[in-house]
Amino acid sequence: MRALWFSALAAFGIDQLSKIVIVHLMDLKSIGVIEVLPPYLTFLMGWNTGINFGLLSGAGARWILIAVAVVVSAVLIRWARTFTRPMGFVSAGLIVGGALANALDRLIYGAVADFLNMSCCGIANPYAFNLADVFIFAGAFGLVMFGEDGKSKGAKTP
């Protein structure tokens, strides 16, 4: 379980630090766009009040999405208690840290601060995301690869 707590804290801290530096210290919230490695990487300020592609962006969705992040994190932590492989703990921690980091954004700003925009090969991507999203995706991929079915540790296979 230590790996879960460490990876959750690391994901949460890295995401929040990146937002402090890029959104506030580099003042992306006022500038709007900073070209870092055009056309591959651009900092593009976006405030996402819903989920992907602006879905669920109604007025009451803020509190619902915060509650969902907390409940999903609690359920994931409970499930992870049955894990035996370290990468399962790390993967669960990445999801928990990312989900709670985005929930904190919703609590403070009323929306999730998104700023990473990546395009490639002549395809212009109009959407922005943040490091918490990357951690959530990596954690979900890790759970698929390294997660366990949640059966008790000592259970014998028939």
Orientation of helix 61-80 relative to helix 86-109, angle to 10°: 160
In a domain, 32, yes or no: yes
In the chain, the DSSP E strands lie at 33-37, 41-48, 112-118
| Strand 41-48 to 112-118 pairing | antiparallel
Q: How confident is the model at residue 158 (pLDDT cuts 50, 70, 90)?
A: very low
In a domain, 155, yes or no: no
Question: Which sign does the torsion angle of CA 152, 153, 156, 157 carry?
Answer: positive
Count of domains forming the chain:
1
Q: CB–CB of 23/29 below 8 Å?
A: yes
Residue 130 lies in a domain: yes
In a domain, 151, yes or no: no
Is 135 part of any domain? yes
Give the integer Cα–Cα distance in Å for 134 and 63. Answer: 22
Which of 15, 105, 114, 149 does the annotation list as catalytic? 114
How confident is the prediction for the chain on average, in pLDDT? 91
Range of the domain at 10: 2-58+65-146
- Residues forming a β-bridge with 43: 34, 116
- For residue 46, being part of any structural domain is answered with yes
Nearest CA to 141 among 150, 133, 129? 133
- Tell me the per-residue pLDDT of 128-146, one tens digit each, with 9 for 90 and over: 999 999 999 999 999 999 8
Split at pLDDT 50, 70, 90, the class of 148 is confident
* Catalytic residue list contains 27: no
Report yes or no on 154 lying in a domain. no
Residue 90 lies in a domain: yes
Distance, CA of 73 to CA of 116 (rounded, Å): 24
Q: Check 15, 27, 105, 133 and give the catalytic one.
A: 133
Per-residue model confidence as pLDDT tens digits over 94-138: 999 999 999 999 999 999 999 999 999 888 888 999 999 999 999
Cβ atoms of 47 and 113 within 8 Å: the answer is yes
Q: What is the mean pLDDT of residues 69-73?
A: 98
